[in-house]
Structure 1
Amino acid sequence: MDTFAAADLEIIDYAPQYQADFRRLNHEWITRYFELEPADHTTLGDPQTHLLDPGGFILLARYHGTIVGSGALLHNPDDNSWKLAKMAVTDQMQGRGIGYTLCKAILERARTMGVTRVELVSNRILLPALHVYRKLGFVEIPLGTVMYKRGDIRMAVDL
């Protein structure tokens, strides 16, 4: 994977056979900067129950047959909110627009579903990720209560 051709990048829907890839990608980035928290183990261990069943979805980036990125849109039925989460691109493929492409695809699908606002929680040290979010229209909003210790910035975009 030394050279990159965007035409060879596919954005595909999550399926159970990709659970190990989804877990690997998220473990990789989280442990690079932070530590895995109980909520990570729960969500990554059973994405069907915790991400898909409540009405969300996961998209994956596949390059030459290898899953190199992931992202999810989570639905909270209690307050009908939507959150972008579990965005990850494998280290050797970062900086090539894959995260942007994934995030854009997630927001486009959200629009087709009638979602009007998407929020996310991130960390200020993740400058490339924050750049992607801002490029896609996300703006900082008050942090409020967050699930993860690593979360120190909340952003939202109106669709």
Structure 2
Amino acid sequence: MDTFTAADLEIIEYAPHYQEDFRRLNHEWITRYFELEPADHTTLGDPQTHILYPGGFILLARSQGAIVGTGALLQTADGSWKLAKMAVTAQMQGRGIGYKLCQAILDRARALGVKRVELVSNRTLLPALHVYRKLGFQEIPLGTVAYKRGDIKMAVEL
């Protein structure tokens, strides 16, 4: 995967046989910067129960047959929508994959009638924050978050 063009990238729907890719990609970025927390183990171990069954979805980025990125939109118990589990493998970062994946997730959210999407991130993840701002996310009050690493909350109106 030394060369990369936008034509090499497909955004595809999650299916159960991609669960290990979903887990691997998220495990990779989280453990590079932070540590896995109980909520990570829960969601990554059973995305069907914690993302899909409540009405959310997962999209994957595939390049030259390999799954190189992932992201999810999940509906929380209070009915709000969260962008979560965004990850692009380290060797493919900086190529616009995260932007295209996030854009596809927001497009799908609009099609579903979602009016607002929130996310929680960390201020040290500057490339990710740049992508989110480029897509219209703005910082909102943090409030209570499920992850120790979460120190910034953002939202976009769709």
1:80 deviates by 1.2
SS in 2 for 1:54: coil
SS of the residue 1:156 aligns to: strand
Distance 2:113 2:122 in 1: 28
Give CA deviations for 1:26-78 in whole Å, capped at 9, x if unaligned. Answer: 000000000000000000000000000000000000001100000000101x3
Aligned-residue offset at 1:79: 1.8
The aligned counterpart of 2:106 is: 107
Indicate the residue corresponding to 2:51 in structure 1. Answer: 51
Normalising by structure 1, we get a TM-score of 0.99
Question: Partners of 1:54 and 1:72 in 2: how far apart?
Answer: 12
Amino acid at match of 2:66: T
What is the one-letter code of the residue matched to 1:25? L
SS of residue in 2 equivalent to 1:143: coil
RMSD over aligned Cα, in angstroms?
A: 0.4
Matched length: 158
Matches within 5 A, 1:1-159: 1-76=1-76, 78-159=77-158
Instruction: Point out where structure 2 has 5 or more consecutive residues left out of the alignment.
Output: none
Percent sequence identity is 84
- What is the CA–CA distance in structure 1 between the aligned matches of 2:14 and 2:64, rounded to whole Å? 17
Q: Secondary structure at the match of 2:41?
A: helix
TM-score normalised over the length of structure 2: 0.99
Aligned equivalents of 1:125, 1:3: Cα separation in 2: 28
**Shift of the alpha carbon at 1:154?**
0.1
Between the aligned partners of 1:86 and 1:13, the Cα distance in structure 2 is 15
> Which runs of 5 or more structure 1 residues have no equivalent in the other structure?
none
SS in 1 for 2:35: coil
- The one-letter amino acid paired with 1:118 is V
